[in-house]
């Protein structure tokens, strides 16, 4: 479910990074590195996904992805991709046990390298009719003819696994050794120098019967899936390449001086680097999600990873060239190598547009002219995501509860109160919070000691998804539940926890967030609202703005300046303030939706009890930032699920208006779907990392969600 690496994967990554950095830096990769392959084999990477029964390590795609990512980072020039990412998955999925027993042990030891010939660009969307090579019967054996124009590592591979078209229109998988009579190889001058290619001409190549490797029906079932697995490993390689582009660019712009300072200090440059990171981290999340799925809905997930990684790599490589200035345009510097590899990768294993088309077929149905063959593996293989049994039971429990409770007078709340609709049925939605509380659905992730259910992240996610699927309304209590409560649990006193957590958990106390001020937006530390202790109480003077749901709340948490004359992050305090008092005035602000979800909040000698401070006086910045960490991670998940419903409405509208066959509409809907899946993958990654930690994926998630 996450992109977090296991300890073994972490160790593999560290070994791979160290080995490739010392043996396969980009400079060596231009000329090839003879010793590299031997080292790779000795390290056991060639055995990674080969099953133990055939002399391999029997690990999964996730481990292979770790290797490919590092190899992509270093632009290493070796048969790693064509063997481990391409040939091995094809054999494992489509060859008979006898064939695997004969071929895979030598491959696992790196003594034999193989590549694959299976139609233009090795696309999972190519049908039997588009294969380059034809096979006909010759006694017990076979004769193969045809020209494959671009074969990966075709100049050095010991053999090709050839998917050929049979006389009856079906497909067969054949082993063709490079040295056989009738095989002519012509090395190509390729655009991506780090990825050698050759043409393979087969003229009447005679093969013995045992050279046919597939079992009946295995290619029909397995070819598209095997090539899709390779597409996923290509995505891993592209993530590594994109990461490297950022590292190179950051290092270069920090060093290069113009206008008397490093160019990295210019905000325009920082923003371009940040945008690279947004692409990279989105792709990384999508990749992690696809690797975790690995079966069931994997082809859907692969589409998301494939599109995001291909786009991220191209974007990062192009930006790397620009941000290196003149030298970025030279032969000697590495960004051009990444750019070429990124361009290469877009053309292979299904272009991003082909994957988008598969997504469009999945969500909109196929176009009238789409053929019924193996063109659209995601449509064929799409299945319900695989979840652990207890998670499925939990999902069923949530769905059942929602069906029984979101009914009667609460029926009108279905799908209401989401983004842009926050003021809908607010009274009834407050009541709904209490119904939720009676079902035990508030505070799912809180510790038991604080009245929560301490559910693992996977079940919290499952809850949000089932809640949204059932049309659960936008939550009125989410600021208290997901922002303040974790903050109180981490920073509050036992008295504060006992006083404030029950109201949140029972759906009776509603909170809002008093951070922004007219003069303190992005520059939050410019806060001017003052607070001071007098007569055993905190007093407040000042103004907050953009305060969501203040008009629906009983309490506000406020960051205010407690040390007179202090500036910036120093001298701030975090207070819990009741809104229903003479010193507080709330004025709604009308939003672009026409509704008023946020407000101005004025404090004119407002008061709160002396003990309603979280942390010590002066700790306000620390507490406020910790709370924002929860916001980046958890509080938005329920809302983002509403976007899925909005997308469904768009899909329904496209169908109703008869524009669901329009290629432009299909692409936009596919991109929206991919964007949502990426958002989800990002969120899952954050949760897996731990609620309080703020990593790059949390920043990227917040950025993508807001946009």
Ligand X SMILES: Cc1cc2nc3c(=O)[nH]c(=O)nc-3n(C[C@H](O)[C@H](O)[C@H](O)COP(=O)(O)OP(=O)(O)OC[C@H]3O[C@@H](n4cnc5c(N)ncnc54)[C@H](O)[C@@H]3O)c2cc1C
The region that residue 415 occupies, defined by phi over 0 for left and psi between -120 and 50 for alpha, beta otherwise, is left
Q: Does 546 bind ligand X (CB under 6 A)?
A: yes
Q: Which is closer to ligand X, CB of 451 or CB of 514?
A: 514
349 makes contact with ligand X (CB under 6 A): no
| Residue whose entry in the numeric block shows the structure tokens 């039971």 | 393
Residue in 547, 562, 636, 678 binding ligand X, rule: CB under 6 A: 547
Q: Identify the helix (H) or strand (E) that includes residue 152.
A: strand 141-152
Residue number of the CB closest to ligand X reads 521
Q: 213 or 479: whose CB is closer to ligand X? A: 479
Residues 619-638, interacting with ligand X (CB under 6 A)? none
Residue 34's Cβ-side half-sphere holds a number of Cα atoms within 13 Å equal to: 0
Instruction: Judge whether 232 and 297 are in contact, CB under 8 Å.
Output: no
Quote the least distance from Cβ 271 to ligand X, whole Å: 7
CA dist., res. 211 & res. 114, Å (int): 14
Tally: H helices and E strands in the chain = 23, 17
Distance CA 115, CA 100 (A): 15
d(CA 461, CA 685) in angstroms, rounded, equals 11
Find residue 21's DSSP bridge partners.
none
User: For residue 373, what is the DSSP state?
Assistant: S
Assign 173 to helix, strand or coil. Answer: strand
CB 290 within 8 A of CB 235: yes
Helix (H, G, I), strand (E, B) or coil at 388: coil
Q: Quick one: 340 or 551, whose CB is closer to ligand X?
A: 551
Which of the ranges 100-108, 204-212, 448-456, 545-553 carries the binding residues for ligand X, by CB under 6 A?
Answer: 545-553
The verdict on 707 binding ligand X (CB under 6 A) reads: no
Q: Report, in Å, the least distance between residue 446 CB and ligand X.
A: 22
Decide if 452 contacts 488 (C-beta within 8 A).
no
Residue with Cβ nearer ligand X (363 or 509): 509
Contacts of 144 (CB under 8 A, 6+ apart): 133, 134, 135, 162, 164, 174, 176, 182, 202, 204, 205, 207
Closer to ligand X by CB, 289 or 547: give it: 547
Name the one range near ligand X by CB under 6 A: 109-117, 382-390, 452-460, 543-551.
543-551
Inter-residue contact 540 to 608 (CB < 8 Å): yes
Nearer to ligand X, 511 or 673 (CB): 511
What are the φ and ψ backbone dihedral angles of 634, each rounded to 5 degrees? Answer: -95, -35
Query: Contact region for ligand X (CB under 6 A) — 7-15, 174-182, 341-349, 514-522?
Result: 514-522
Q: Which stretch binds ligand X (CB under 6 A): 191-199, 468-476, 516-524, 697-705?
A: 516-524
Least Å distance, CB 598 to ligand X, is 5
Q: Which stretch binds ligand X (CB under 6 A): 146-154, 185-193, 275-283, 512-520?
A: 512-520
Q: How far apart are CA 597 and CA 546, in angstroms?
A: 9
Question: Looking at the chain, how many residues does it have?
Answer: 707
Among 513, 608, 639, 682, binds ligand X (CB under 6 A): 513
C-alpha distances in Å from residue 23, one per residue of 39, 45, 91, 338: 9, 15, 29, 18
CB distance 560 to 572 below 8 Å: yes
Alpha-carbon span 160 to 326, nearest angstrom: 41
Mark the segment that binds ligand X (CB under 6 A) among 256-264, 494-502, 513-521, 620-628: 513-521
Instruction: Give the range of 23-31, 64-72, 314-322, 508-516 binding ligand X by CB under 6 A.
Output: 508-516
Work out which of 150, 516, 553, 682 binds ligand X, going by CB under 6 A: 516
Which of 548, 569, 617, 696 binds ligand X (CB under 6 A)? It is: 548
DSSP 86-130: IIHHHHHHHB-HHHHHHHHHHHHTTSS-EEEE-SGGG-TT--GGG
* CB-nearer residue toward ligand X: 74 or 599: 599
Q: Does 522 interact with ligand X (rule: CB under 6 A)?
A: yes
Residue 286 contacts residue 309 (beta carbons within 8 Å): yes
Stretch that binds ligand X, among 78-86, 273-281, 345-353, 509-517 (CB under 6 A): 509-517
CA atoms 387, 393, 394, 400: torsion sign: positive
Site for ligand X in 590-609 (CB under 6 A): 598
Nearest-approach distance from CB 628 to ligand X, in angstroms = 9
To the nearest whole angstrom, how small is the minimum distance from the Cβ of residue 31 to ligand X? 44
Strand pairing partners for 259? none
Residue 217 touching ligand X (CB under 6 A): no
Answer yes or no whether residue 515 interacts with ligand X by CB under 6 A: yes
Rg (the chain; Cα; Å)? 29
If the CB atoms of residues 519 and 663 are measured against ligand X, the closer one turns out to be 519
691: annotated active-site residue: no
- Residue 568 in contact with ligand X, rule: CB under 6 A: no
- Between CA 148 and CA 99 the distance in angstroms is 23
Q: Quick check: 1 and 286 in contact, CB under 8 A?
A: no
Taking the least distance from each CB to ligand X, the nearer of 193 and 476 is 476
DSSP string spanning 11-48?
HHHHHHHHHHHHH--HHHHHH--HHHHHHHHHTTGGGT
Residues 100-159 that bind ligand X (CB under 6 A): none
Strand partners, 619: none
Catalytic residue among 631, 646, 691, 697: 631
Work out how close the CB of 270 gets to ligand X at its nearest, in angstroms, rounded to a whole number: 9
The token pair at 118 is: 């299976």
For residue 70, the minimal CB distance to ligand X (Å) is 34
Residues near ligand X (CB under 6 A), total: 12
Mapped onto helix, strand or coil, the DSSP state of residue 511 is: strand
State how far the Cα of 183 lies from the Cα of 460, in Å rounded to an integer.
57
Nearer to ligand X, 23 or 622 (CB): 622
The minimum distance between CB 629 and ligand X, in angstroms, equals 15
Query: Site residues for ligand X, window 221-280 (CB under 6 A)?
Result: 267
Query: By CB under 6 A, is residue 682 in contact with ligand X?
Result: no
CB of 702 to ligand X, least distance (A): 11
For residue 580, the minimal CB distance to ligand X (Å) is 18
Pick from 325, 521, 568, 663 the residue near ligand X by CB under 6 A.
521
Q: What minimum distance in Å lies between the beta carbon of 454 and ligand X?
A: 28
Q: Which is nearer to ligand X, 197 or 516 (CB)?
A: 516
Choose the binding region for ligand X from 228-236, 379-387, 449-457, 540-548 (rule: CB under 6 A).
540-548
Please, what is the minimum distance in Å from the beta carbon of residue 361 to ligand X?
Answer: 35
Which residue lies nearer to ligand X by CB, 238 or 516?
Answer: 516
- Which residues would be at the binding site for ligand X (CB under 6 A)? 267, 512-516, 521-522, 546-548, 598
Active site residues: 631
């Amino acid at each position: 479910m996450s992109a977090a690496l296991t300890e073994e994967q972490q160790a593999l990554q560290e070994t791979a990074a160290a080995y490739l950095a010392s043996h396969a830096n980009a400079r060596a990769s231009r000329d090839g590195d003879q010793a590299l392959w031997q080292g790779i084999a000795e390290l056991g990477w060639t055995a990674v996904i080969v099953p133990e029964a055939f002399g391999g390590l029997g690990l999964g795609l996730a481990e292979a992805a770790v290797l490919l990512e590092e190899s992509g980072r270093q632009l290493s020039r070796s048969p790693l991709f064509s063997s481990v990412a391409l040939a091995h998955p094809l054999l494992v999925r489509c060859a008979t046990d006898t064939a695997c027993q004969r071929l895979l042990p030598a491959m696992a030891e790196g003594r034999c390298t193989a590549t694959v010939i299976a139609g233009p660009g090795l696309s999972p969307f190519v049908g039997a009719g588009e294969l380059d090579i034809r096979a006909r019967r010759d006694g017990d054996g076979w004769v193969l003819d045809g020209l494959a124009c671009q074969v990966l590592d075709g100049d050095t591979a010991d053999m090709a696994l050839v998917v050929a078209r049979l006389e009856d229109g079906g497909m067969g998988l054949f082993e063709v050794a490079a040295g056989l009579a009738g095989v002519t190889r012509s090395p190509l001058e390729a655009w991506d120098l780090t990825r050698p290619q050759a043409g393979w001409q087969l003229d009447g190549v005679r093969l013995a019967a045992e050279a046919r490797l597939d079992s009946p029906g295995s290619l029909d079932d397995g070819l598209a899936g095997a090539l899709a697995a390779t597409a996923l490993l290509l995505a891993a390689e592209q993530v590594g390449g994109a990461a490297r582009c950022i590292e190179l660019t950051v290092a270069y712009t920090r060093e290069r001086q113009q206008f008397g300072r490093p160019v990295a200090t210019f905000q325009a440059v920082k923003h371009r680097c940040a945008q690279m990171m947004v692409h990279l981290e989105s792709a990384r999340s999508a990749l992690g999600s696809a690797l975790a799925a690995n079966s069931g809905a994997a082809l859907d997930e692969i589409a998301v990873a494939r599109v995001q990684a291909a786009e991220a790599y191209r974007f990062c490589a192009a930006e790397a060239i620009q941000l290196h200035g003149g030298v970025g345009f030279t032969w000697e510097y590495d960004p051009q190598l990444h750019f070429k590899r990124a361009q290469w990768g877009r053309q292979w294993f299904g272009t991003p547009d082909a994957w988008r088309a598969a997504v469009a077929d999945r969500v909109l149905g196929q176009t009238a002219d789409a053929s019924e063959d193996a063109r659209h593996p995601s449509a064929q293989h799409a299945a319900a995501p695989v979840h652990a049994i207890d998670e499925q039971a939990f999902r069923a429990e949530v769905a059942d509860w929602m069906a029984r409770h979101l009914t009667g007078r609460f029926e009108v709340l279905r799908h209401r109160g989401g983004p842009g609709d926050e003021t809908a049925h607010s009274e009834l939605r407050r009541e709904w919070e209490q119904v939720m509380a009676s079902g035990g659905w508030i505070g799912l992730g809180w510790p038991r000691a604080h009245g929560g259910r301490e559910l693992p992240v996977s079940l919290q996610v499952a809850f949000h998804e089932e809640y949204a699927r059932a049309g659960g309304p936008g939550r009125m209590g989410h600021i208290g539940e997901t922002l303040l409560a974790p903050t109180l649990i981490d920073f509050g006193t036992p008295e504060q926890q006992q006083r404030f957590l029950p109201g949140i958990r029972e759906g009776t106390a509603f909170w809002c967030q008093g951070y922004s001020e007219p003069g303190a937006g992005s520059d939050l530390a410019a806060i001017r609202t003052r607070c001071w202790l007098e007569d055993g109480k905190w007093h407040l003077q000042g103004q907050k703005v953009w305060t969501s749901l203040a008009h629906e709340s009983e309490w506000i948490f406020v960051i205010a300046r407690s040390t007179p004359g202090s500036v910036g992050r120093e001298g701030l305090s975090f207070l819990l303030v009741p809104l229903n008092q003479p010193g507080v005035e709330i004025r709604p602000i009308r939003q672009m939706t026409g509704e008023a979800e946020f407000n101005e909040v004025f404090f004119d000698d407002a008061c709160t009890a002396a003990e309603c401070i979280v942390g010590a006086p002066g700790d306000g910045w620390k507490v406020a930032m910790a709370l924002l960490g929860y916001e980046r991670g958890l509080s938005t998940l329920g809302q983002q699920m509403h976007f899925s419903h909005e997308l469904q409405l768009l899909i329904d509208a496209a169908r109703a208006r008869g524009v669901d066959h329009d290629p432009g509409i299909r692409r936009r809907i596919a991109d929206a779907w991919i964007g949502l899946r990426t958002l989800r993958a990002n969120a899952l990654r954050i949760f897996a990392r731990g609620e309080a930690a703020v990593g790059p994926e949390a920043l990227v998630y917040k950025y993508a969600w807001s946009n």
